[in-house]
């Protein structure tokens, strides 16, 4: 459970939040937004610790009071969590408390996490995680209780954009008339997907991407990397500490995305219709969140491969395996086809988000990729 000192960068935001708490001007609802890996969830957890600490200092929680010791185990009775989940039993909505042991275990390892890591942790398979309407009743029940320590009650809602409409409307009522000394911390990757009425009842704070120096320092001091390796990984991480941690050791998910991207491009170039159909069926069975992750990865690899043609290595942000492939692949990505290829991938991403039949989406995209791969 992080302290403010554990949150990488974001110094101005940390000082603003601590000053608000000390001055008794803490808003009842904060909306933390920003790029993936900028530290939104760690910052929310550090703020929750600071709010609940019984002996806070000017720059952090004390770490020794009973509240801090309970926070170390993520077991403070006045701290509550809401996050996207999947049904444990078909036809019956689950609640977040059903997954609380997995949630705590994940955060004990690192608070810098994304939805793919959480889906893997709860063994979501192809189910689409969401916050079900039943959770709104749990929120109301928990916040109706008196504070066990006589201070704040904190409700951390991770990825509130995953709430279904009925749940979101019930949350809106709570935000309109919040219980006394209750603070909502909404941590959102896609705030534009939230109800405008919810956003209007929060104070929004947007976190900026981390500087390469901040990521590099973290990799040296906390991960034990050498200066050169830390600098290289930080440069390739696009301001995201989450990407930096993934780049230290290529995750299984990223490795799968890389293999699927390579397979798509090689098969499209060979015009192997049967193999492209098999590829599209494989991807169609992955689940929507993983499909979106793959399409984002493909767009990044196309951009990086195009930049490789300029022979400016300081502008290329790929790991060694990706760079090795891009050296051979980059001549096939040029000014005559890059915009069309990117448009294909973006169109597929829109269709996936609209829940169009994935077999049709990916097979159509793969077939049209044949034409673009021949534009040399």
| pLDDT one-digit tens code per residue, 74-102 | 889 999 999 999 988 766 778 999 999 99
Q: Above 60 in pLDDT, residue 271?
A: yes
Q: Are residue 265 and residue 242 in the same domain, yes or no?
A: no
Q: Are residue 157 and residue 245 in the same domain, yes or no?
A: no
Q: Are residue 111 and residue 153 in the same domain, yes or no?
A: yes
Q: Are residue 223 and residue 170 in the same domain, yes or no?
A: no
Q: What is the pLDDT at residue 338?
A: 92
Separation of alpha carbons 121 and 50, rounded Å? 27
Q: Are residue 256 and residue 245 in the same domain, yes or no?
A: no
Q: Are residue 240 and residue 258 in the same domain, yes or no?
A: no
Q: Above 80 in pLDDT, residue 375?
A: no
The whole model's pTM is what? 0.74
CATH number at residue 128: 3.40.50.300
Q: Are residue 218 and residue 88 in the same domain, yes or no?
A: no
Q: What is the pLDDT at residue 143?
A: 87
Q: What is the pLDDT at residue 250?
A: 57
Q: Are residue 42 and residue 187 in the same domain, yes or no?
A: yes
Q: Above 60 in pLDDT, residue 251?
A: no
| pLDDT one-digit tens code per residue, 343-372 | 999 999 999 988 899 999 999 999 999 988
Q: What is the pLDDT at residue 181?
A: 87
Number of separate domains in the chain: 3
Q: Are residue 62 and residue 129 in the same domain, yes or no?
A: yes
| pLDDT one-digit tens code per residue, 41-82 | 999 999 999 999 999 998 899 989 999 999 998 889 999 999
Q: Are residue 303 and residue 244 in the same domain, yes or no?
A: no
| pLDDT one-digit tens code per residue, 168-200 | 988 888 888 888 889 999 999 999 999 999 999
Q: What is the pLDDT at residue 5?
A: 92
Percent of the chain with pLDDT over 70: 98
Mean pLDDT of 128-132: 90
Q: Are residue 187 and residue 300 in the same domain, yes or no?
A: no
Q: Above 80 in pLDDT, residue 9?
A: yes
Instruction: Give the domain range for residue 97.
Output: 4-208
Q: Are residue 38 and residue 138 in the same domain, yes or no?
A: yes
Comparing 73 with 228, the larger pLDDT belongs to: 73
Token readout for 312 is 């400016």
Q: What is the pLDDT at residue 243?
A: 85
Q: Above 70 in pLDDT, residue 3?
A: yes
Mean pLDDT of 290-318: 86
Mean pLDDT of 203-227: 89
- The 3 state secondary structure assigned to the chain is CCCHHHCCCCHHHHHHHHHHHHCCCCCCEEEEEECCCCCHHHHHHHHHHHHHCCCCCCCCCCCCCHHHHHHHCCCCCCEEEECCECCCECCECCCHHHHHHHHHHHHHHCCCCCHHHHHHHCCCCCCCCEECCHHHHHHHHHHHCCCCCCCCEEEEEECHHHECHHHHHHHHHHHHCCCCCEEEEEECCCHHHCCHHHHCCCEEEEECCCCHHHHHHHHHHCCCCCHHHHHHHHHCCCCCHHHHHHHHCCCHHHHHHHHHHHHHHHHHHHCCHHHHHHHHHHHHCCCHHHHHHHHHHHHHHHHHHHHHCCCCHHHCCCCHHHHHHHHHHHHHCCCCCHHHHHHHHHHHHHHHHCCCCHHHHHHHHHHHHHHHHCCC
Average pLDDT of the chain to the nearest whole number:
89
Q: What is the pLDDT at residue 265?
A: 94
Q: How many CA atoms lie within 13 A of 150 on its CB side?
A: 2
């Amino acid at each position: 459970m992080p302290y403010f000192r554990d949150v990488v960068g974001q110094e101005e935001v940390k000082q603003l939040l601590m000053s608000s708490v000390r001055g008794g001007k803490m808003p009842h609802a904060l909306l933390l937004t920003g790029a993936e890996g900028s530290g939104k969830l760690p910052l929310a957890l550090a703020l929750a610790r600071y709010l609940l600490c019984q002996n806070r200092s000017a720059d952090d929680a004390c770490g020794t009071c009973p509240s801090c010791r309970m926070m170390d185990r993520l077991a403070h009775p006045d701290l509550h969590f809401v996050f996207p989940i999947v049904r444990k039993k078909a036809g019956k909505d689950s609640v977040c408390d059903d997954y609380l042991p997995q949630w705590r275990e994940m955060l004990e390892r690192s608070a810098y996490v994304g939805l793919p890591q959480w889906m893997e942790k709860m063994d979501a398979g192809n189910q689409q995680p969401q916050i079900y309407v039943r959770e709104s009743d749990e929120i109301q029940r928990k916040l109706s209780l008196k504070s066990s320590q006589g201070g704040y009650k904190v409700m951390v809602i991770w990825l509130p954009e995953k709430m279904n409409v009925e749940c979101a409307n019930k949350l809106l009522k709570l935000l309109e008339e919040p219980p006394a000394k209750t603070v909502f911390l909404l941590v959102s990757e896609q705030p534009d997907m939230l109800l405008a009425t919810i956003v209007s009842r929060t104070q929004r704070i947007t976190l900026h991407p981390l500087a390469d120096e901040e990521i590099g320092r973290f990799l040296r001091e906390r991960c034990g990397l050498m200066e050169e390796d830390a600098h290289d990984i930080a440069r390739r991480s696009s301001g995201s500490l989450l990407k930096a941690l993934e780049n230290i050791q290529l995750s299984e998910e990223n490795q799968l995305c890389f293999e699927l991207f390579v397979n798509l491009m090689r098969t499209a170039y060979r015009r192997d219709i049967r193999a492209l159909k098999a590829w599209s069926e494989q991807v169609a069975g992955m689940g929507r969140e993983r499909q979106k992750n793959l399409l984002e990865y493909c767009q990044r690899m196309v951009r990086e491969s195009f930049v490789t043609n300029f022979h400016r290595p300081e502008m290329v942000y790929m790991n060694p395996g990706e760079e090795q492939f891009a050296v051979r692949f980059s001549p096939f990505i040029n000014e005559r086809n890059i915009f069309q290829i990117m448009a294909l991938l973006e169109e597929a991403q829109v269709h996936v988000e609209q829940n169009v039949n994935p077999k049709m989406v990916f097979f159509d995209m793969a077939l049209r990729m044949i034409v673009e791969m021949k534009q040399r």
